[in-house]
Amino acid sequence: MVIVIAVLLVVAAVAIYTFLPTAPTTTPTTPTTPQLNKICIVYDIGGRGDLSFNDMAYLGGDRAARDFNLVLTELQSRSESDYLPNLRTLSRSGECVIIVGVGFLLTDAIAQVADEYPNQLFAIIDGYVDKPNVLSVLFKEHEGSAVVGALAAMIAGYYNKTTVGVVLGMEIPVLYKFEAGYYWGIRYGQEIFKEKTGREINVKILFTYTGAFNDPARGKTATEAMLGEGAIVVYNVAGATGLGIFEAVAEAGAREGRTMGPPFGIGVDADQDYIKPGFIIASMMKRVDVGVYTATKKALNYLIHKNETKFGGILELGIAEGGIAMSRVEDLETFLELGIQAGTIKPQDKETILNAVTSMRNSIPSWIWEEAYKLQETLKTNKSLEVMGIKFSDIEAMIPFTADTIANLRSSLGVG
Amino acid sequence: MGNTGDTGSDEYLVLMKNIVKIYPDGTIALRGVDFTLRRGEIHGLLGENGAGKTTLMKILAGILKPTSGTIYVVGKKVVFSAAADALKLGIGMVHQNLSLIPSFTVYENIVLGLPRKQLLNARENINKLMSLTGLRVPLDERVEVLPFGVKQKVEILKMLFRNVDVLILDEPTTNLTLTETRELFNMINELKKMGKSVVFITHKLREVMEVADRITVLRKGRVVGEVPRAEANLNLLAQLMVGRNMISATSRETTTAGEELLIVRDLWVLSDLGTWAVRGVSLTVRSGEILGIAGVEGNGQKELVEGLTGLRRVEKGEVIFRGRRINNLPPSELYKLGIAHIPEDRTLMGLILDFTVSENSILSIQRSTSFRGFLNTLVWGRVAEHALSLITKFNITAPSLSSPVKYLSGGNQQRLVVAREISKEPQLIIAAQPTRGLDISATEHIRSLLLDFRKRGKAVLLVSSDLEEILQLSDRVAVMYEGRFVGIKNVSELTEDKLGLMLGGVSD
Amino acid sequence: MRRKVLIEVLIKTGNVVAAMTVGLIIGGLIMQAYGYDALHAYYSLLRHAIGNPLTDPYPLTSTLSLATPLIFTGLAFAVSVRSGLFNIGVENAVYLGALGVVLASGFLKADTPLVLVIGSLMGLSLSILFALVAASLKVFRGVHEVITTIMLNWVAYWLVEYVRVNVFPDLRDPSKTIPVPPSARIPLLVAGTELSVSIIIAIIASLTTYFVLWYTVFGYELRATGINLIAAKYAGIKTSRFMIYSFLLSAVLGGLAGVCEVAGRPPHYSITTGISNLVGLGFDGIAVSLIGLNHPIAVIFASILIGALNSGVRGMQIEARVPFELVRLIQGVIVVSLAMPGVLSTFRKYLSIRRGRMEVVS
C-alpha cells in the first residue's frame, strides 16, 4: 500500500515537474529570464566558517551586494570535484555580474570555465589566470611582511633578545616575497629601534622551509628548534603547518608560567590573533574582502557603467589599496563576530580573547606599535625607504624572485 | 504420593500440573505432564531426545511459557514471565551450553546483574559460599581460560549465590571427565545436605541411578513412570525410556552385504570445546547394507559424521574408503571418491536458504563438468534441467526453480537434499538425522529412498537419534555413548530392553 | 517465472521510492521549519540534477559524472557483502588506485597514454597489496576486517599525502600533485561537461561483476561463502580462499574508481590537498551498495540517484538559497532513508543467521 502511494506521489511529482512551465506558484521570486543582478561566490572546500579566506570573501561580497544593490549568491563545494560544475552552473545561469573563486585551489577550474564562457566575468582570489575575462586578485605580501618584520625586530630589541625566525611551507617561489619583505622589515626595524632608544641591535634571522602547508607537527618541531636558539618571534608563512608554530610558542610561554608571550608568533592571511590569544603578536592580513569588493566594482564598471574598457589582468592589492594590513584589535572583533555566527567560536569566549589580546598588546611599549603602524602608513606612498643599502622599491623590483635572487638577497641582508 | 491434588500442602516445594507445551511450529513437546519436587530431594529426569525433559524444566525456570497447565511453588500458584521471576522464587537452571561471558572474570560473571547493594560484600560472601559447598573456583581468572568442568562450577556457584533452593542441571555430565563427574555428584549430595533440591536431567541410566532419590521418566512428552530409587533398576528404566512394541517387523528385503566399503579404525575427534567427542570408534560399512548409529544426541555422533565427511579434523585413527586412506581429505575430494553426505541440519548446512531451488540442486557438485561451460561459466539451462529432473523424480513440491528454498516446506527441503545427494550416484551416503522434524509422508518417502539406495547395492551410514528409524532401516546397529560404541549388533539380535540399556550407557 | 522476477524488481523499486518519499518529506519539514521553501528547493534540486536533457544535457551529465566513481565503489562494497565481508577498505583502494596513476605520471615524465596503462597497473597492484594485508589478517588470524581496513585506510591516506607533499607535488600549485599528462587522460564523453568515458568503464564493470557473480562457478562459490559459511564448507568450497578473492575484487573495483577520478575528471587530473577529491568515495559506496541491495545492476541506478542528489544540491543553494549546511543535512536524511531498506534486509539476514545458530544450539 505504502508502495502504491509512493509511486503515485512520484508520478504526480514528475508530472508537475514536466508540465509546469515555470516554478510552482509558491516561488514567485524565481525569474523566468536571467537577470544580471548577482554577485556569485564559489568557496573552496574550507567553506564558510573558516575564519579565513572564505569568511573574508563573504564579508566583501556582502558589503558589495548592499552597496551596489546586488544579490549575493554563495555556493560551497563538497569536494574538489565540485569546483568545475559549480562554476559552470553559475556561468550558465547568466545571472552573475561576477563569479569570484575564493582561493588558488580554484585556479584550474576558473581557467577552464573562463574559456568556455568568454562573456562571463570571473575573479580569482590569490591565484593567477591569464584570460581577458578573469581578474586575478593578488596581494603584495612583501609589504605586510616588512611591517611585521619591523615589529619583530623592535620586540626582540625591547626584550633584549637577538633572534627572530620565520617558518615557511614548501619552497615555492610565491613564498620568496614573504621572506624578502620580512628580512627587509627586520633590518629596517633595527634602525627604528636604534633611533628611538639609541641602542644598536643586530638581530639574527632564522628561516626554515618545512616542505608542507598542512603539517602542524612539522611547524611545531621547526619552531621549537628556533626557540631553542633563542628566537623570540616566529612568523607563520606555512598555512596550516603554522598552527604548530602557535602551539610551540604558547607551550614555551606556559612552561615559564606566562599567559602571554614572549615568545610570540605572527599570523598570516587572516587575523589569526585569536588562535592562541596572548601569544600571537599580530597578523599579516590579506584583505580578501577588499579583493572581492574591488573586483565586483570593476566588473560593474566594465559591464554596466562601461567606464572601464578592460576587465582582465592582475589586480594587485597592497597596503595603499587596503588589501594588506597588520591586524588591529578592531579587526579581531569583526572576525570573532563572524566566528560566533558560524558557531566556531563561543560567544562567551569573545571577551576573554579580546582581553587577552589587548593586554598582550599593552605589554609592549606603545611607541613600538606606533612605529610599526607608521611604517605601514609610509609604505603606502614612499617605497624609497632604505636599509643596508637596499630600498624597499628594490625588493619590489626583484619580484618574481627565483631561488638565486632570494639567495642573493638573503646574504646581502645577513640572513642565515 | 496421594497428595498431589492438595495445592495448599507444602509437602512439595514444586508442583507442576498438567503442563502442555506446543511450540509455535506445531511441535507438541509436552502432552500434560505432572511433576513434583520435594525439599532436599535429588530428582532425576530421564528420557531420550525429544522426550521433553529440557522443555519441562525451562518452563519451571521461567524461560518458556507453558501452553497450558499450572505451577505451584510452596503451595502457591505462580506464573512466570521471565527467568528472573523464577529466580526470585529460588529456582535456577544451569544449561547444557553455559551462559557465561568468556572475557569476564569468574567474579564478574557471578555478580553480573546483581543490585548494587549485594555487591558490597560480594567477594567475602562468595568465599564463604565456596567453603560451605566445597565448590572452589579461581575468582580472578578469566572464564575463557577455564576448562569446561570449572566453568560449570562457576555457573552453579552463580545460581547458589542467588540463593536458589531448586537447582536444575541440564545434562551436566555431557562434557565432563570421569573425575569431574565424580566431583559433581559429591557436590550435588552436599547441596542436598544443605536442604537444596536438585533436578538432574539426563539420559544416562547409571548416573541417574547413582545420584537421584526419585526418577521421573519422560517419553514423547508424557510421564511414563515415576520411580523411587529403591524400586528402580537399569532394565526397568531402560524399558520405560524406550518403550515397548517399538521393534516392529518391517518388511525389508534382505540383501547380501558385499565388499567392505568404509573401514574406520580407532577414530578420535575433538569437539568444539576441545574435549574428545569421539573416543576410538571403529566400524565397517559394507555395500548393500545400512549401518545405523543410534544414541542420544551429544554423544559424539555429530563429530563422528563431520570427521568422516572432511568437515572436522581427524586427530587419530584411520578412515579407509574402498581401500584408500581418506583421513582429513577435503569434502570436495571425498565427493569425487563417491561419498555423499546428508547433513543433520538442512537449513544450516545442507542448503543455502537464500539460494534458489536450481542453485541448491548443485550445491557441492557446482564444479561438475556437466554444468560448466566455457571459462568456468555456469550453464543455467543445464542446472535447471538437473533441478527439474530432481523435482520430478523425487516428487518435490516447489513454487518454481527460481524461488529461494526458504519458501519450501521442511519436507521438500529435505527431499531436495536427499535427491541431490542420491543423484551424485555415490557408493556411500552418510545420512545424519535424515528425517528429523519431518511429517509422516516426507519421513516415509525419505526412508524408502534410503532403502532403495541400499537395494541397489550401495551403502548407507545412518546416524539417527530416532530409534524407530534406526530399527526400521538398519541391518546392523551401533549405539554411541560418550564417544564410544556400546556395541554393534545385527538388528535381529536387538530387543528394546537391550537397546534401552545401551542408550543409557550400559552394555551387556 | 519472468513475471515473478519483474514483480520482485517492482517491489524493490517501490521500496526505494517509498523510502525516498519518506526522506524527502522529512527533509522538507526540516527546511520549512528553518523557514525555507521546501517545494522550491526540491524543484531546483530536480532542475540541477536532471533539468531537461533534450534542450540542455548539462545537469544530467553532471549527475552521471558524479555517479561514476560511486558505481565502482558501490560495486566493490557489494562484492564484499555478497561474500559475507564488511570491507571498509574500498576507501583506501580508491586512494591507492589514484596514487598509482600519479606515480606513473611522475616517474615516466612523458606525455603518453602509456602513463595511464602503467599507472592503472601500479594503482591496482597497490590496492591489491593493501587488501592482501587485511585479507591475510582475516583469514589466518581472525582479525575482523572492519578494524584492519579502517586502519589501512589511514595508512593509505598518509602514504598518498606523503607523495603529494614530498615526492610529486605540483610546484605551480603545491596543494596538488603533478597532473596526469594530457594524452594519458580518460577522454570526455561530452565536451564541455565533466562526463568522461569512465562511466562506460563503470557500467562495463557492473555488467561484468553481475555476470561473474551469477553466471560462473566462481561467483556461485563466492555467494555461497557469503550467505552461509557452513553450507559452503559442506559444499567443498575453500571458503577462506574466496574471502581473499573477495578482498582482491573489491580492491580492483575500488582502485578503478581512483584511477578514473584522477585520470578522468577535469580540471585537476591530480590528487588535491588532503586527498579531498577522493576522500569519502569509498564510504559513499557503502550507501550506494545498500540502496542497490548489493546488486551490481541496481548499484548503477543507486549511484545515479546519489549523483543526482550531489548535483542537485547546487540548485538548492543557488535558487532556493538554502544554506550549504542545511543542504547537506537534507541530503543526509534522504540518503539514510534510501539506505534503510538495504540496511534492514542486511541486518535481518544477519540476525536470522544468528537466531538460526542459537536454535540449533538449544
B97, B330, B332: residue with CB nearest C361: B97
> Between chain A and chain B, are at least 3 CB pairs below 8 A?
no
* Contact check, Cβ <8 Å, A81/C261: yes
Global ipTM: 0.86
User: Does residue A29 form part of some domain?
Assistant: no
Chains near C, with 3+ CB pairs < 8 A? A, B
Contacts of B348 in chain C (CB under 8 A): 228, 230-231, 356-357, 360
Q: Are residues A239 and A134 in the same domain?
A: no
pLDDT at B430 over 70: yes
pLDDT, tens digit, for every residue of C292-343?
989 999 999 999 999 999 999 898 988 888 888 888 899 899 888 888 877 7
Which band of pLDDT confidence, cut at 50, 70 and 90, is reported for residue A1?
very low
Residues of B in contact with C218 (CB under 8 A): 376
Q: Which residue has better confidence, A237 or B9?
A: A237
Q: Are residues A399 and A268 in the same domain?
A: yes
Q: Is A10 within 8 Å of C17 when comparing Cβ atoms?
A: yes
Taking the CA of residue C295 and the nearest CA in chain A, the distance in Å comes to 21
C11 touches chain B (CB under 8 A): no
**Residue A241 sits in the same domain as residue A370:** yes
Residues in chain C: 362
Q: Is A414 exposed, middle or buried (0-12, 13-18, 19+ CB in 10 A)?
A: middle
Question: What grid cell was written down for B8?
Answer: 495448599
- Position A137 confidence tier, pLDDT thresholds 50, 70, 90: very high
Contact C270, C176 (CB under 8 A): yes
Same domain, A233 and A106: no
Q: State how far Cα B255 lies from the chain centre.
A: 32
Interacting residues of A288 by C-beta distance below 8 A, sequence separation 6+: A53, A56, A57, A60, A102, A125, A126, A137
pLDDT in tens, A338-368: 888 777 788 888 889 999 999 999 999 999 9
Q: C265 — contact with chain A (CB < 8 Å)?
A: yes
**Grid coordinates 549485594 are at which residue?**
B118
Q: Backbone dihedral region of B14: left (phi > 0), alpha (psi from -120 to 50 degrees) or beta?
A: beta
Same-domain pairing of A360 and A278: yes
Distances (CA, A) of A125 to A137, A268, A315, B99, B274: 5, 16, 10, 66, 70
Are B72 and B9 a contacting pair, CB within 8 Å? no
**Residue B380 pLDDT greater than 90, yes or no:** yes
Residues 6+ apart with CB under 8 A from A130: A136, A312
pLDDT tens-digit map of B255-280: 666 888 999 999 999 988 888 999 99
- Strands A386-387 and A390-391 turn out to be antiparallel
Average pLDDT over residues A20-45: 65
Chain B and chain C share a number of CB contacts under 8 A equal to 84
pLDDT at A28: 41
| C234–chain B Cβ distance below 8 A for any pair | yes
**DSSP alpha helices (H): ranges in C34-144?**
38-49, 58-82, 90-108, 114-141
Buried/exposed A80-94: b ≥16 CB within 10 Å, e otherwise: bbbbbbbbbbbbbbe
State the smallest CA–CA distance between residue C178 and chain A in angstroms: 13
Which chains have at least 3 CB atom pairs separated by less than 8 Å from chain A?
C
Window C:104-133, CB contacts with A under 8 Å: none
Contact map slice: C 315-354 vs A, CB within 8 A: 315, 317-321, 324, 328
Interface contact A84-C274, CB threshold 8 A = no
At B293, the pLDDT band (50, 70, 90 cuts) reads: very high
Q: Is residue A28 assigned to a domain?
A: no
Q: Which of C1, C81, C228, C293 to mutate to test the interface with B (most CBs of B within 10 A)?
A: C228
A81 contacts on C by Cβ (under 8 Å) = 66, 194, 261, 265, 277
* Nearest CA among C334, C203, C315 for reference residue C260: C203
Q: Is C37 on the interface with A (CB under 8 A)?
A: yes
pLDDT of residue B2: 39
Q: Which three cell numbers stand for residue B321?
A: 574408503
**The Cα angle at residue B252 between residues B249 and B258, in degrees rounded to 5:** 130
Tell me, what CATH number does A50's domain have?
A: 3.40.50.2300
C62 and A CB contact within 8 Å:
yes
pLDDT confidence bin for A84, thresholds 50/70/90? very high
Contacts of C361 in chain B (CB under 8 A): 97
Give the three-class secondary structure for B258.
Answer: coil
Q: Is A224 found in the same domain as A88?
A: no
**pLDDT at residue A153, rounded to an integer:** 93
Q: How far is B382 from chain C (nearest CA, A)?
A: 12
| Binary contact (A213, C11; C-beta < 8 A) | no
Query: How does pLDDT run across A239-292, given as a tens digit for each residue?
Result: 888 889 999 999 999 998 888 878 999 999 888 888 899 999 999 999 999 999
Contacts of A4 in chain C (CB under 8 A): 14
pLDDT of residue B128 exceeding 80: yes
C272 touches chain A (CB under 8 A): yes
pLDDT for residue B117 is more than 90: no
> Distance (Å, rounded) from C-alpha C317 to C-alpha A75?
6
pLDDT of residue B6 exceeding 70, the answer is no
Over residues C98-127, the pLDDT tens digits come to: 999 999 999 999 999 999 999 999 999 999
Q: Do C318 and A73 touch (CB under 8 A)?
A: yes
DSSP, res A242? G
Residue of C nearest to B331 (CA): C236
The backbone region for C291, taken as left when phi is positive above 0, alpha when psi lies in -120 to 50, beta otherwise, is alpha
The amino acid that residue C204 corresponds to is I
pLDDT the model gives residue C349: 63
Residue B4 confidence class, pLDDT cut points 50, 70, 90: very low
Do A349 and A401 share a structural domain?
Answer: yes
Quote the CA–CA distance of B191 and B159 in Å, as a whole number. 12
Question: What does the radius of gyration of chain C's CA atoms come to, in whole angstroms?
Answer: 21
Percent with pLDDT over 90 in chain B? 48
Residue with cell 580492491: C251
In-domain check, residue A68: yes
* Domain assignment of residue A219, yes or no: yes
Long-range CB contacts (< 8 A, 24+ apart) of B255-259?
B255/B288, B255/B289, B255/B454, B255/B455, B255/B457, B256/B288, B257/B286, B257/B287, B257/B288, B257/B289, B257/B475, B258/B286, B258/B287, B258/B288, B258/B457, B259/B286, B259/B287
Average confidence (pLDDT) over B85-113 = 89
Are C321 and A73 an interchain contact pair (Cβ–Cβ within 8 Å)? Answer: yes
Q: Does residue B217 surpass a pLDDT of 90?
A: yes
Contact (CB<8Å) B402/C356 = no
Residue given cell 516561488 in the structure block: A27
B400: chain C residues, CB-CB within 8 Å: 1, 4
Co-location of A86 and A104 in the same domain? yes
Residue A244: name the closest of A264, A224, A226 by CA: A224
With a cut of 90, say whether residue B361 has pLDDT above it.
yes
In a domain, A328, yes or no: no
Distance separating alpha carbons of residues C226 and C247, to the nearest angstrom: 12
Distances (CA, A) of A66 to A38, A69, C317, C323: 11, 5, 20, 19
Position B50 pLDDT exceeds 80: no
List the one residue out of A220, A382, A291, A274 whose CA is nearest residue A39. A291
Distance of residue A71 Cα from the nearest chain C Cα, in angstroms = 11
Using only the alpha carbons of chain B, give its radius of gyration. Answer: 25
Question: Using CA atoms, how far apart are residues B221 and C2, in angstroms rounded to an integer?
Answer: 47
Specify the DSSP class assigned to residue A415. -
**Rg of chain A taking only CA atoms, in angstroms:** 24
> From the CB of residue B102, how many other CB atoms can be counted at a distance below 10 Å?
12
How far apart CA B206 and CA B208 sit, in angstroms, is 6
Contact present, B484 and B497 (Cβ < 8 Å): no
Asked if C17 has any chain A CB less than 8 Å from its own CB, the reply is: yes
Weakly modelled stretches of chain C, pLDDT under 70: 1-4, 346-362
Helix, strand, coil shares, percent, chain A, to 5:
50, 15, 30
Question: Of C221, C238, C356, which has the smallest distance from its Cβ to B366's Cβ?
Answer: C221
Tell me: cis bond preceding A400? Omega within 30 of 0 counts.
yes
What is the reported pLDDT for A12? Answer: 62
Q: C233 vs B331: CB contact, 8 Å cut-off?
A: yes
Long-range CB contacts (within 8 A, 24+) of A371-376: A371/A150, A371/A154, A371/A192, A371/A196, A372/A147, A372/A148, A372/A150, A372/A151, A372/A154, A372/A189, A372/A282, A372/A326, A373/A326, A375/A146, A375/A147, A375/A150, A375/A185, A375/A188, A375/A192, A376/A147, A376/A319, A376/A325, A376/A326
Interface of C with B in 263-302 (CB under 8 A): none
Decide if A211 and C58 are in contact by the 8 Å CB cutoff: no
Q: Which residues of B370-384 are buried (b: 16+ CB within 10 A; e: fewer)?
A: ebbeeeebbebeebb
Q: Name which of A23, A258, A290 is nearest A137 in CA terms.
A: A290
The minimum CA-CA distance between A4 and chain C, rounded to whole Å, is: 8
C170 touches chain A (CB under 8 A): no
Rounded distance, CA C336 to CA C341, Å?
10
Distances (CA, A) of A25 to A30, B96, C39, C63: 10, 71, 10, 27
Asked if pLDDT for residue B437 goes beyond 80, the answer is no
pTM strictly above 0.95: no
**What is the residue type of B212?**
A
CA distance C347 to chain A (A): 21
**Cβ–Cβ gap A108/C14 under 8 Å:** no
A233 and A361, same domain (yes or no)? yes
Q: Which residues contact B504 (CB under 8 A, 6 or more apart)?
A: B203, B204, B205, B206, B234, B237, B238, B241, B481
∠ CA B238-B243-B249, nearest 5°, is 120
pLDDT at C154: 94
Is residue A31 in a domain? no
Question: What is Dmax (Cα atoms) for chain C?
Answer: 69
- A213 with A167, same domain: the answer is yes
Q: What is the DSSP letter of C85?
A: -
Number of domains in chain A: 2
C347: its cell numbers: 541486518
The answer on pLDDT for A21 being more than 50 is no
Question: What chain B residue is nearest to C355 in terms of C-alpha separation?
Answer: B348
Give A356 to chain C, closest Cα distance, Å: 32
Angle between helices C281-291 and C324-361 (to 10 degrees): 60
How far C239 CA sits from the closest chain B CA (Å)?
A: 12
CA atoms within 13 A on the CB side of A364: 30
- d(CA C164, nearest CA chain B) in Å: 42
In this complex, do C276 and A104 lie within 8 Å of one another by their Cβ atoms? no
Measured distance CA(B213)–CA(B292) in Å, rounded = 35
Residue A375 · residue A146 · CB < 8 Å: yes
Whole domain around residue A124: which residue ranges?
Answer: 38-140+289-317
Which DSSP category does A106 fall into? Answer: G
Q: What is the SS3 string spanning C269-287?
A: CCCEHHHCCCCCHHHHHHH
For residue B274, give how far its alpha carbon lies from the nearest alpha carbon of chain C (Å). Answer: 17
Q: What pLDDT does C361 receive? A: 33
From the CA of B235, how many Å to the nearest CA of chain C? Answer: 30
Same domain, yes or no, for A74 and A184?
Answer: no
Q: Is C277 on the interface with A (CB under 8 A)?
A: yes
Task: Give pLDDT tens digits for B295-330.
Answer: 888 889 999 999 999 999 999 999 999 999 999 999
In a domain, A6, yes or no: no
pLDDT band at A7 (very low <50, low <70, confident <90, very high): low
Note whether residue A255 is domain-resident: yes
